[in-house]
Amino acid sequence: MRLMPTVNVVLNKTRSDLGRFFLQRWRQGMIQELGEEGFKKHQEKVIWEGTNFHACVQQFLSGMPVNEIQIQESNKGHWESLQSVLPDVKDVLALETPVSHPWLFYRGTFDCVAKYKDVLYVIDWKTSSKPKPLLSNLYDNPLQVAAYLGAINLRAEFTSKFGVVDHAAIVVAYQNGQPAHIHRMKPAMCQHYWTQWCQRLHQYWAMVAAEKGITATPP
């Protein structure tokens, strides 16, 4: 399983030229503002905050009392933002669980499978300092959850436990504490992004083959 690429590795490697341009422009702007060392520390802080945020959500959904959850100061806004969503998350069936797709050969770790307003979802938790009210603001995140959905529904250890999951949700919690946006994806939309994911996965393996000097031979 360790030889399988993760969902994030596939998406990063196959990012569009335009996406790479905007990412590089943002990176250069941040370095100009903070300096190389300052930018490095900023990135480490973002990763640390994300790790703590996910840990807090996982602990809460596991049943830990709120007064026992160690919410770091830098995550208090994110936590406040989630209060518009968490009361409607019920019947948690899986948290921070690794999954792989044995036929398409990729792996990842999904955040949560639970009911939101009585519908079963694969839920992905995100943080942001900027408003993201539209699904299009989330770049490749919908492909990420579609990839998890496809892998989950192929594995008997999951389907025997909670059946087929055909809805996905991406919850964006905000640093300033404003109510989180929850982007709900119905089955048709999940299928749309699953198709895009499969195209990116095919592109990934074509790129890997080209780098290794492997060419496909017609049968």
Catalytic annotation, residues: 111, 124, 126
Dist CA 118 CA 136 (whole Å): 25
> Which value, in Å, is the radius of gyration of the alpha carbons in the chain?
19
Q: What is the DSSP string of 131-176?
A: ---SGGGGTTHHHHHHHHHHHHTT-HHHHHHH-----EEEEEEETT
Measure CA of the first residue to CA of the last residue in the chain; give whole Å: 28
As a whole number of angstroms, the distance between CA 171 and CA 102 comes to: 28
